[in-house]
Amino acid sequence: MAVEWAGSGPELLFTIDRDSGAGLRAQLEDQLRDAIRGGRLAGGERLPSSRELARGLGLSRGLVQDCYAQLQAEGYLSSRPGSATRVAAVAHPAAPPETATASRRRHAVADFRHGVPDLRLAPREDWAWAVREVCRTAPNTAFDYGDPIGDRRLREVLAAYLRRVRAVAASADQVVVCAGMAQALGLVLRVLAADGVEALAFEDPGAVRSTTEQAEAAGLAAVPVPVDEDGLDVAALERSGARAVLVTPAHQWPTGVVLAGHRRRELLDWARRHDGVVIEDDYDAEFRYDRDPVGSLQGLDPGHVVSLGTVSKSLAPALRLGWLVTPPRLRAALAREKLVTDRGSPGLDQLALALLIESGRYDRHLRRARTEYAARRETLVSALAAHAPGVRVTGLAAGFHAILHLPPGADEERVIAAAAERGVGLYGLGVMHRTPSPEPRLVLGFGDTPRPAIVAGVAAVADLFSGVD
């Protein structure tokens, strides 16, 4: 898509070398051609007027007009009387990027992609209000470089919020504001590696690829530990020899199981015996439906648990705001690592988030979103009951995805490919295993899938769930 610049004379960076021996017009023509061929100037993009370009380069207007006329004749530029000169639309066609929009075009009926909230529910008006209020009322010092670990006000608000809704044992001094969950995890792993930790254990199935990449980038070995109906197998963790483990105890990703009470105790006992670190990924704890809330592990042992959180699921991924709650012994090292990494997260956005939470608008948004996701969950359950009544579905107590169990021997990839031919996006759980998957399963996300699309999508592919195609 061509960018429309405001004003009558968008600037272009060209250089004219009067000592090179090459003609001035030839230099300008060559640079314009190269800019168009290389994609620096996109099809449809407006060029400066001949008068503006001539003034900027110290050339005569007639020379620039002759240059434009030549490139028009060659098909690089187009112009109409009374309109600006533009790059011809066919001069350099760009391949469309692979985006979520492209995915929706491929999956015209429904796309059950997971891990993404409904972007239409993003509270744009509330966020705009918070940003305006911050810009209007914040002192001048708020526009300076801030504390690398985060604005004090946001850290106090987050600590109070996490104590209230997640039973976290935290003060503002233990909170580090980060650019989302990925940065939070990366900071923790690099600090642990510097402290002598050699391996990170992680849940299998789980976020295998991203966790492995993060661990290896920090110089750690990534060790898979199996998950069963009670959550992480702590006995297998004991055998792994790792001194750090990444877990999703409130709603295991992707199976949806909750870490059972006896496993929680065993895990914290393991951490105390080995002076280990439990990294708690609290990725979607705000969204629960028909179960009691599950408190944070960190609240049971603040000395051995690092808790990670983010607004990517509750507000929108584009905000790139998250946090970690650190044991006191790791705070100084994490503060240094955050300083070296990026000098701190955007300060005004931090103040806007603090205001959003303090004002009650954040809680109000969560209630609206929770109601909508609950309705979509019921729509998914009803559609499956109507069109594929024999199919087992689990992991629905929280979050916005479900696990659909295919018949034994079914081929996940074959089902996914057949669904794609019908305009439905399905996604397998097998790729989330480091070790071979014991059964074929699909992950059905409904966070960014409207209710009518859920019904239509299930109806279009229900026969594939029973092995008929």
Domains and CATH numbers, the chain: 1-94 (1.10.10.10), 102-115+364-466 (3.90.1150.10), 124-359 (3.40.640.10)
Average pLDDT over residues 42-55: 86
Kindly state the percentage of the chain with pLDDT values over 70. 93
Does residue 41 register a pLDDT over 60? Answer: yes
Cα gap 379→457, rounded to integer Å: 11
Give me the pLDDT at residue 387, please.
Answer: 96
Give me the pLDDT at residue 287, please.
Answer: 77
Does residue 100 register a pLDDT over 70? Answer: no
Does residue 457 register a pLDDT over 80? Answer: yes
Q: Is 282 exposed, middle or buried (0-12, 13-18, 19+ CB in 10 A)?
A: buried
| DSSP for 246-306, written as a single string | EE--SS-TTT-PPPPHHHHHHHHHHHHHHT-EEEEE-SSTT-BSSS-----GGGT-TTTEE
Which position has the token pair 């001949």?
A: 50
Average pLDDT over residues 276-292: 80
pLDDT, tens only, 103-122: 556 788 999 999 889 999 99
Region of poorest pLDDT, from 52-66, 216-230, 315-329: 52-66
Q: Are 178 and 345 in contact (CB under 8 A)?
A: yes
pLDDT, tens only, 399-449: 899 999 999 999 999 999 999 999 999 999 999 998 888 899 999 999 999
Does residue 99 register a pLDDT over 60? Answer: no
Would you place residue 6 in the very low, low, confident or very high pLDDT band (cuts 50, 70, 90)? very low
Closest to 178 measured CA to CA, from 363, 296, 361, 341: 341
Among 26-35, 291-300, 370-379, the range of highest mean pLDDT? 370-379
Does residue 4 register a pLDDT over 70? Answer: no
Average pLDDT over residues 122-143: 96
Would you place residue 3 in the very low, low, confident or very high pLDDT band (cuts 50, 70, 90)? very low
Give me the pLDDT at residue 141, please.
Answer: 94
Give me the pLDDT at residue 174, please.
Answer: 97
Would you place residue 290 in the very low, low, confident or very high pLDDT band (cuts 50, 70, 90)? low
